[in-house]
Each structure stands twice: as C-alpha cells, then as structure tokens.
Chains A and B, each alone.
Chain A
C-alpha cells in the first residue's frame, strides 16, 4: 500500500463548489478512474481521502491537495495523474501526483493573487492597496469558533507584488496559513475596503502557492 498525494487546480466554475462537495466529487473521480484505491474497512466502506488546507467557497486555486491510498506498494505516478485527469472536468485538473511528502502541519504560509475589477480606477486602487499594506499595524476583528478577538495582521501578511491594466489591478499577497494561525484573504479585503473608504469592486481570489515556514512549497 502507498500513500499518494495529488496536486490539482480548482478554477473557473469550480470556484463555486464547496469543500464538502469537492470531497464527494473527488471520491467519485477516483472511483471512475478505476485506480486500485484503498477503501476503509468499516461498516460503511468508502474511499479514504484527506484534504489539506480547505479552500473557501468562491476562491480559485493553483495548488489544491488530496491524499489517498493505493493498494499496490508501487505505482507509476504519471499514470495516476493521467487516469484521474481523464475523469475530471476542465476546471479541476491534476498537475502532479507523488508519494505523500510533508505533513500538512508544516503549512505556514499561502500566497494569493487578488484581482480587483476596477476598470479605469485600477491604478488608483493598486496604490490604495499598497498604502494599506504598508501600515505598521493592521488591527482587524477575527471570528473564531468560540469568540471574537482583535488581531494585528500586519506581521501575518506580506505584499509580494502588484500590477494593473485598463481592466483590473492585481495584488499578490502572502498570508499566514495552517492550523495555528490562518488569515483568510476576505478578512484582509474587508479591512482594506474599510480603511480605504473605496466603493468595493468585483474581486477574484486565487491561491497560488502553499508554503512551509522556510518558504518551501508544500509537497
């Protein structure tokens, strides 16, 4: 038996699919693929899968992960990717498959690209966002399951790059991610609109990379 991790994209229409629905979808895709996957041994036997770092509804992603088990001790990873891709939709595609490497616990950062559809206001918006990120302190209210607390997210984020065109402005943002501290881009956006006083424009968010504490890609 071997533990396999697949890296996949979730783009376009698939951004509207919730995490729970994605899990069901991937299970069926594994079933369709005919790969020799391992089923749980319990009363209600099902394909065993785990997903690291669930993505919020509405976000696209270039780096989603799913782990599952194959019955053989060795298996060609390219074949896993190819056979799964034949059973997936164009919006959800496997980029690579590999034996499971890092433990999801090591995830510390995630990079996002935020696209602001501000049309001719895009340059101004880019500037406003830069100014927002340059603050030494950004205090936001963060809801957890139990309570509402205030957090300074300035040390938990880093603006990597910005750009703009006639249609939109983009900002690449590194945010704390993982089990201990996780900053959702929506939290940043909420603070940004409040701070800038600008009228919100349509926004798209795409997860680009997931990293460990040493900025190594999660693999």
Chain B
C-alpha cells in the first residue's frame, strides 16, 4: 500500500464500525522484514474478523508457517460491507493485517473453507485483492491460490477458482507445498509445471488436472486424471498428535470475538458415527493427544496470551479417554491462575456427576446437549445412540446440580422423518420440563427454561446420507409449523433455522463443476458474506441457476443411486463408499444402529490412513 493509500485508509477507518478489525497490531501478531523472507503467504478466512479469529485451524497454520524463517504468513479477512464500499471507491486493495501490503503480490494465498456459504466471499476477496477470480486467468506462478478445510472434500463448485486444494490436515503438507513452490520458482518453472509437480504430493488436489465428463441427464459419467495426476486423491492426516506442532503463542485480538479464549485440541476425529455428521467421517480416524501434552499446551498458551478462558476442543470432548486425569492435573493450576475452563461438545450418555462437579468448579455457564432427534426411531436412523432415558437422566443431574435452563439441539428434515418424529422434539422438551417440576430438591425460586434449536438437515458428502434427497422447502415449512403448534408450554422456546439457506447449502455441498459459473454469477450479482442472514438472497442463486440451465432440485432433492458417480468420488478420505452404502442400508432399511469405534470396528476404511491401524 502506498503512503497515500494508507493515510486514506486511516481516515476511512475512523468512520467504520469496529475499525480495530482492520489494523492488526495485536499481541502475538508476527512482524517480519519483507525483504528478508523468501515467500509471503496470505492466510485468508472468508468471513469477518470476529469469526475468522475464532477459528483454531488458521491459528495453528499461522504459527507453523511463521516458525520458518523463509516464510512470512499474514492474516487476511473479509471486510464488512461498509469498508468494502470505501475500499472499492478509493482503490484500496485487500491487504495483510501484519504488513498492510496488498496481497496481490504475495506468493501464495490460502483460504480456509469451513462452510459452503463462504464461497462467494472468497471470490469477493480475490477480486478486492485485484486478482482474477478464475484460476485460468491468473497466468503466472505468483500468486498460487490454495484452499483447505472441510469444504474441499468436494471442491468441485470452486474448482475453477482455486489452483490447489489440500484435503485433510495441513500441518505436514503445507510446508511441503511451500518447499516445492520455492524450488519451482528458483528453477523458473511455469505455473502449469508447478501444479503438475504439486499434484504428486500426497494430500494435494489440483482440480485443473481432472477432467469431468457428464451424462446427458447431468449426472457425472466419469472423472479422468490428466498428466499423471493421482486417482483417487488421498487426504493427508497427522498420525501422532503428541508430536505435531501446536502454537504456544497466538494472536490475541483487541476486540471481543466469538470464541475469545485459549484453546487446546484434545483429539481429532470422532468415534461415534452419527450418520448426518460430515465432520464425524471427514476427520477419521480418531486420534487423541495425551493429557500430559495437553496440560503443557494449556499452561504455556495461557501464560503467553494472558487469556482468562481455556477451551478443551474436539468433536466430542467427553469421549476423550484421559479427560479425568487431564482435569485433575489442570484444574488446580487454572484455579490458581484465575483461568476458567470450558468444555464444549459433551455427550449426553457419559455426562457423570463427577464431570458436572468439574464444570461447576470453573464457571457456571448454560448447558447444551444435542439429542438431534425427538424420537428413538429417528435417533436410531441417524445413529445418535442415545436413549430418552439418558437425555432425562442428564437433565436430572443438571437440575439437581442447580441448573435451571438447558439448550437442546435438534435437526428436522432427516431421512425417513415423519410428522410424529417432528412433534417428538416438542414432546421430549415437555418431558424435560415435567422432569424439572418432579424433582423435590430442584432449584427454588426460578422456573425452568428449555430452548430447542432446530436446524434443517443438509445431506453432505462422505456421510451415509450423501445419497439422500434433502427435504423440500414446502415439507420443511410444514414441519416448522407442526413444531410451533405442538408446543403447549411457555417454558419451551423453539428456534429454527431458515430453510432457504439450508437449501443452497445442500446444492453447493453436493455440487459439481457446473456450479462454478453459478457461483461466479451469484457473486457478480452482489453475493458476499452470505453466511450472515442479512446478506443472503436466494433470488440471486435462482437467477444464476436459470442462466446456466440448472435446477436446485437436481442437486438438493434428488435421490442418488449407490452406483452414481458422485462429484467427489475421486477423493479418498479413508472412509470407503462401500461402508457408506452399508451404513445407509442399516439406517433406512433396517433402522439399526452401529456401535461406536471403541466398542466394535465398523470397518469404515479410515484405519488405512494410520500405519498401525486405529488406536
């Protein structure tokens, strides 16, 4: 950025909401001499600062890359609409928060893609940087646009925009990619040559090296790998979490953000196999960190950052086998150092009074559980593996422990769902209310409050429900009405998510490359920050689909046969398609559950990713 631009920017920032989002300078931000690094990396998160800075993954990779003397990694987030308008009007390019330099000249631009509705924000950020959004229009070796995160398990809808995807975990593959880039640059390679070579690294997917052929009805005929690119593309994992890099210092924001705390990652993957949950399959196999490593991580991170809150993160923290030794050893330290500990993601069936004691010791926050469905039949179909009795017992423990409000998460529009199952959500909530008043030593003086948060189910790739149609808009609206009509108590609050966003999320999640043109059109019509309700407009998508001769129903509401070639079938996440088919049959034909990984191996295939099988 020139001095003139910088002065202009500062003047503009004075008029913006929360200017602190846009200036960097926080504790822990890494400043290097731009002239003394070989490579500059823009770590982009296509959302606002408050959301982006809450994400653990980019903090790990930021620390990891900046450990290298030859790389300077900076953070780049989406400006809110007020600043974006000013940046465009005053020709201020998208810049890195550390150097305030335009990222157009950086060597590599990485995007963390956590949910489908951020795709248009990615396009907008590329455009704000002054770069063509289409990979084919960015000719040289600089910059290379890389994407990672769960969305790249099916990167087809963004295949025309990114040069490289990194399926799986980034800690090992990203530095390897940087090394290859530096080598390619010193040899004067073309972009094409670099991409050909990059495709040979395990855990690298180069969309342009795969050609997709379609059938007349729009389904995929086949995907062909070109120029020696691997088929299938294997995701990368870190085998031993006790040996992998973990940051001991992170950027501590000035602003209050969504998750403003020090976080430690207790494990990756999940043993449960809930059939709707993409994370539960994508991050397999389950790997735990030892409690000793975690205690070290926690203490050094809190010391370095001064944070007063510590989060123990994983997909299901109560499944972590060393939780008790970890808490026993950590809590005396956190108490002495005035650090509060939070345990998100607890399961209902192993929520012991002892665990509750631990939680109460640190901070009295609200309790949240996820039964996910209202009836036992439905919970069996989705393999949630909890009973009504367990839900009620947990609530009893909580009420007896002094809690008066619980939050329950549910989904509707699940495969095989009937109106009875939907009403079952409210019936379950009512039982929780009744339970409260049946307890003799319930907390006195206060009523109970049960909040049910009900999301619309979105079928996702690499889950047993990837074959399933999404419920139609009409049906979902009817079910929402049924929910509200069934509520008889004022103690029950129902929140439900908007159906239109879920529908387009479903289209993008299981979309193919023909959606690239759709996304480009949506973005050109103004699509940006669409994860925020106030910025989402379904009409843009409808128009773009029509322009391209496509229908949402083809992607969202169509039952897919087991032998159909899915747009993501050339990606190998460990979990086999045969396993997903088997699980789908068990779910809907047999209404049978599958035991968790520790009780009995279900043969998903992810153990292949570990040298010695699952532990």
The answer to whether A32 and B25 have CB atoms under 8 Å apart is: no
Which chain B positions have C-beta within 8 A of A13? Answer: 23-25
The answer to whether B25 and A91 have CB atoms under 8 Å apart is: yes
Q: Please tell me the size bucket of the interface on B.
A: 20 to 34
Complex A-B: 26 CB contacts under 8 Å: A12-B25, A14-B25, A16-B13, A16-B19, A16-B23, A21-B20, A21-B256, A28-B27, A28-B305, A28-B306, A29-B27, A29-B306, A31-B306, A32-B27, A32-B305, A34-B303, A46-B338, A57-B14, A57-B19, A58-B14, A58-B19, A90-B25, A91-B25, A117-B7, A202-B8, A202-B11
* Shortest CB distance B6–A (Å): 11
The answer to whether A21 and B7 have CB atoms under 8 Å apart is: no
Q: Given A24-B254, A57-B19: A89 and B306 within 8 A (CB)?
A: no
Measured in the bound complex, the distance between the Cα atoms of B10 and A25 in whole Å is 22
The answer to whether B254 and A17 have CB atoms under 8 Å apart is: yes
Q: Is A22 an interface residue (CB 8 A)?
A: yes
Q: Given A29-B27, A57-B19: A21 and B254 within 8 A (CB)?
A: yes
The answer to whether A32 and B338 have CB atoms under 8 Å apart is: no
* Shortest CB distance A183–B (Å): 19
* Shortest CB distance B501–A (Å): 31
Q: Is A39 an interface residue (CB 8 A)?
A: yes
Which chain A positions have C-beta within 8 A of B29? Answer: 89
Q: Is B553 an interface residue (CB 8 A)?
A: no
The answer to whether A89 and B14 have CB atoms under 8 Å apart is: no
Q: Given A202-B8, A202-B10: A87 and B306 within 8 A (CB)?
A: yes
Binding site for B on A (CB under 8 A): 12-14, 16-18, 21-22, 24-25, 27-32, 34, 39, 45-46, 57-58, 87-91, 117, 202, 204
For chains A and B in complex, what number of residue pairs have CB atoms within 8 angstroms?
65
Which chain B positions have C-beta within 8 A of A14? Answer: 25
Which chain B positions have C-beta within 8 A of A202? Answer: 7-8, 10-11
Binding site for A on B (CB under 8 A): 7-8, 10-11, 13-14, 19-20, 22-27, 29, 252, 254-256, 303-308, 338
Which chain B positions have C-beta within 8 A of A89? Answer: 25-27, 29
* Shortest CB distance A187–B (Å): 15
Measured in the bound complex, the distance between the Cα atoms of B38 and A91 in whole Å is 27
Which chain A positions have C-beta within 8 A of B254? Answer: 17, 21-22, 24-25
* Shortest CB distance A180–B (Å): 28
The answer to whether A18 and B20 have CB atoms under 8 Å apart is: yes
Measured in the bound complex, the distance between the Cα atoms of B11 and A45 in whole Å is 39
In chain A, what residue has the closest Cβ to B252?
A28
Q: List 9 additional contacts besides A12-B25, A22-B254, A32-B304; criterion CB under 8 Å.
A: A16-B19, A16-B23, A17-B20, A17-B254, A21-B256, A24-B256, A45-B338, A89-B27, A202-B8
* Shortest CB distance A36–B (Å): 13
The answer to whether B20 and A16 have CB atoms under 8 Å apart is: yes
* Shortest CB distance B499–A (Å): 37
The answer to whether B308 and A31 have CB atoms under 8 Å apart is: yes
Which chain B positions have C-beta within 8 A of A25? Answer: 27, 252, 254
Which chain A positions have C-beta within 8 A of B308? Answer: 28, 31, 46
In chain B, what residue has the closest Cβ to A29?
B306
Measured in the bound complex, the distance between the Cα atoms of B370 and A216 in whole Å is 63
Which chain B positions have C-beta within 8 A of A29? Answer: 27, 306
The answer to whether B10 and A28 have CB atoms under 8 Å apart is: no
